[in-house]
């Protein structure tokens, strides 16, 4: 099968043990991200299979309709709203999806929590410029960690908070509250209580129509002036523009962000990058070798199974009714 792997910024795929699953296939790796539909059509037209690295490239119907050779999209992790699955089904394109580990993102989340609370990036920059102890950080023990969305990643982050001696609160949908209660985590009565009580508030929600823009300016305004807002999930969970405005207004006082509405962020053209009270990282949550082996191992196995006529892990099993 003629396969394309998109958006492999570091050219990491070829270095993985998982690469062996693609033996015998004609594989092309692209390291850049294209957003123009016409450019994507020209690039992708020859390929029968495409491996997607998370949501780095969108596949709406307008693009899919112009890829007549495409037979399968293999998603690292779960297929999300960046793929028009209904259009894939209509066009008899299989969408196969895999799984990953919550630990890489949870660990990055905790690194950001520590960095923000202790002002580590600021002090590193100050030291390189000849400064010495320019800020006064804040410890974690005895303070309150709020978890918005108690799923796989949120539950791991809650465990880290407990290990650091923090008081952990949770809020979310019924399933989140049930899981939090089973884990011995205090469930608050409302999102307003979570935002107002948390010294650190970390978001761990999946992006879906009902969660898009779920965090509004009114929520952020409830946070403490000393509070830290952490988002390693999805930027679109926050209403457009309100995080930068809230940080400029001083509630919350700080933020640590790993995700953005449009990625990759080019140069210093994002409003958060201009603020001194924000730590910004380039969507590193799942970007580490063990996590890549899991994500790509599943994605490569799935596309190889499809090529062998044994499709599995289908996000659209009814594509078979339109099979060409």
Long-range contacts of 173-179 (CB under 8 A, 24+ apart): 176/149, 176/150, 176/151, 177/150, 179/150, 179/151, 179/155
- Virtual CA dihedral for 212, 216, 222, 228, nearest 10 degrees? 60
Residue 206 CB contacts under 8 Å (≥ 6 apart), including other chains: 80, 149, 151, 233, 234
Catalytic residue among 107, 193, 263, 293: 263
Half-sphere exposure (Cβ direction) of 93: Cα atoms closer than 13 Å: 29
Nearest to 294 by CA among 30, 11, 103, 8: 103
Per-residue tokens: 147: 């978890």
E strands along 76-163, which residues?
94-97, 144-148
Nearest-angstrom CA–CA distance, 91 and 65: 8
Round the CA-based radius of gyration of the chain to a whole number and report it: 21
Residue 301 is a catalytic residue: no
Report yes or no: 272 and 280 within 8 Å, Cβ to Cβ: yes
Q: Verify whether residue 283 is a known catalytic residue.
A: yes
Which of 21, 143, 204, 234 is the catalytic position? 234
CA distances to 164, 195, 222 from 198, in Å: 15, 6, 10
Catalytic residue check, 58: no
Dihedral of the alpha carbons of 168, 174, 178, 181, in degrees to the nearest 10? 30
- Tokens for 65, please give them: 């309709």
The residues assigned a catalytic role are 234, 263, 283
């Amino acid at each position: 099968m003629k396969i394309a792997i998109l958006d492999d910024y570091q050219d990491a795929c070829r270095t993985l043990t998982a690469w062996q699953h693609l033996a015998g296939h004609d594989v092309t790796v692209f390291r850049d991200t294209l957003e123009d539909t016409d450019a994507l059509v020209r690039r992708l037209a020859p390929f029968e299979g495409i491996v997607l690295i998370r949501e780095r490239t969108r596949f709406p119907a307008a693009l899919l309709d112009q890829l007549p050779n495409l037979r399968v999209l293999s998603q690292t992790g779960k297929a999300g709203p960046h793929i028009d699955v209904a259009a894939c089904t209509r066009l008899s394109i299989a969408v196969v999806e895999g799984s990953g580990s919550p630990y890489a993102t949870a660990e990055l989340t905790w690194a950001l929590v520590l960095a923000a609370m202790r002002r580590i990036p600021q002090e590193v920059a100050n030291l390189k410029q000849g400064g010495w102890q320019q800020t006064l950080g804040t410890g974690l023990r005895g303070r309150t960690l709020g978890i918005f969305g108690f799923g796989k990643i949120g539950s791991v982050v809650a465990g880290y908070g407990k290990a650091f001696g923090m008081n952990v609160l949770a809020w979310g949908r019924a399933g989140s509250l049930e899981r939090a209660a089973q884990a011995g985590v205090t469930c608050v009565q409302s999102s307003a209580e979570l935002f107002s009580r948390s010294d650190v508030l970390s978001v761990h929600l999946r992006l879906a129509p009902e969660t898009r823009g779920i965090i509004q300016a009114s929520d952020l305004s409830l946070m403490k002036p000393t509070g830290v807002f952490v988002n390693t999930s999805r930027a679109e969970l926050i209403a457009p523009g309100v995080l930068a405005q809230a940080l400029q207004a001083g509630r919350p006082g700080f933020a640590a962000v790993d995700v953005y509405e449009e990625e990759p962020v080019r140069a210093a053209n994002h409003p958060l990058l201009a603020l001194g009270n924000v730590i910004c990282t380039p969507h590193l949550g799942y970007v580490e070798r063990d996590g890549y082996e899991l994500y790509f191992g599943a994605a490569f196995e799935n596309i190889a199974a499809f090529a062998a006529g044994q499709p599995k892990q289908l996000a659209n099993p009814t594509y078979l009714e339109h099979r060409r």
